[in-house]
Amino acid sequence: MAFSPCRLLRLVRRHRTLATAASSSRAVAVFWDLDNKPPNTIPPYDAAVRLHLAAASFGPLRFSVAYANHHAFRHLPAPVRAARAERRAADHLEAAKPSRVPSYLCRVCGRRFFAHAKLVNHFRQIHEREQEKRLRRIDSVTGGRRVRLVAALSLKMEKYKKAARELLTPEVGYGLADELRRAGVVVRTVDDRPEAADRALREHMVETMDRGKVGCLVLVSDDSGFLGVMREARMRCLKTVVVGDEGDGALKRYADSALSWKDVVSGKAKEEAASAVGRWKDRDLLKKLEWRHMPEEEEGESDIFDDDSDAGDEEDGCLGLVGERDKKPWWKLNSDSNDLH
């Protein structure tokens, strides 16, 4: 069967529209309240990656956004402070008793050093200056030359960033925003006012629901102030998932599914998410198959039966009249009675 080009184009557009609608109904959006649930126990990059893996079990991940005030990015968690204190103590011991074996390797040039402090000094004096020169060269050109220069220096710059991430200590905070962005999280900073991050996060969730591009909302928080948004999502027939530490919190009681933040960090939440999706599919199937009470239809059927009963009564009345008018047996004809007379 041959189709005209215009009809084929309409069929292709319709197929794309249906595919887009199906993907939108399954898409997942992650909203992370960093003020309430910061990644303190593990590095921020690892926490974001494991959170994305758990969220992707509910459907294709559309985007992930995190809100926090400036204090959250300047604050140092207790594990980070303890790790830095241990590093300083180890540097003092190495300075007092230098090792005879060069055990510290520079990830950029490959040189080995006897002490960690000497490796840091080498990195700052040589490789950090080289990185600054590369950035100045990139800023000095524009257009196609800039694109070609960035492509030529991309490997060296990426190698420096990996080494600096492990070696250098951030001047402010512990690199929370940079690590989350590296994992694909959109980080947005708000003013240092009470409930500023929660208010911005709620507005973003409502805006996402208005656009109708997602079918599942994943909220990483234990704050009960998000109950109104979760109620709105349920009224719009969206799936809701809450990730938090409170075992029986108000948000988890109202959400379609709940995950523990400890399970997300440890990587165990992916299995729980898969089982929750299975329960959702079974529930949707039962909703399609269940019987529903339709009082309007029943009233219509009763009216039909009443009409039939009235018609039957009328027929019975007609037959009664006929019987009263003609009481002769049915086998006797009028001609027979006339002959007898």
The mean pLDDT value for 325-334 works out to 57
Percent of the chain with pLDDT over 70: 76
pLDDT band of 319, cuts 50, 70, 90? very low
Q: What is the per-residue pLDDT across 256-268, written as a single tens digit (0 to 9) for each?
A: 888 888 888 887 7
Q: What is the per-residue pLDDT across 9-43, written as a single tens digit (0 to 9) for each?
A: 665 566 555 444 444 567 999 999 988 888 888 88
Amino acid at 137: R
Burial of 258 (0-12, 13-18, 19+ CB in 10 A): buried
CA distances 327 to 314, 322, 330, Å, are 20, 8, 9
Burial of 27 (0-12, 13-18, 19+ CB in 10 A): middle
DSSP symbol at 170 = P
251 three-state secondary structure: helix
pTM of the model: 0.65
CA distances 102 to 90, 112, 125, Å, are 15, 6, 19
Percent of the chain with pLDDT over 90: 25
The mean pLDDT value for 140-144 works out to 91
Cβ partners under 8 Å of residue 100, min gap 6: 114
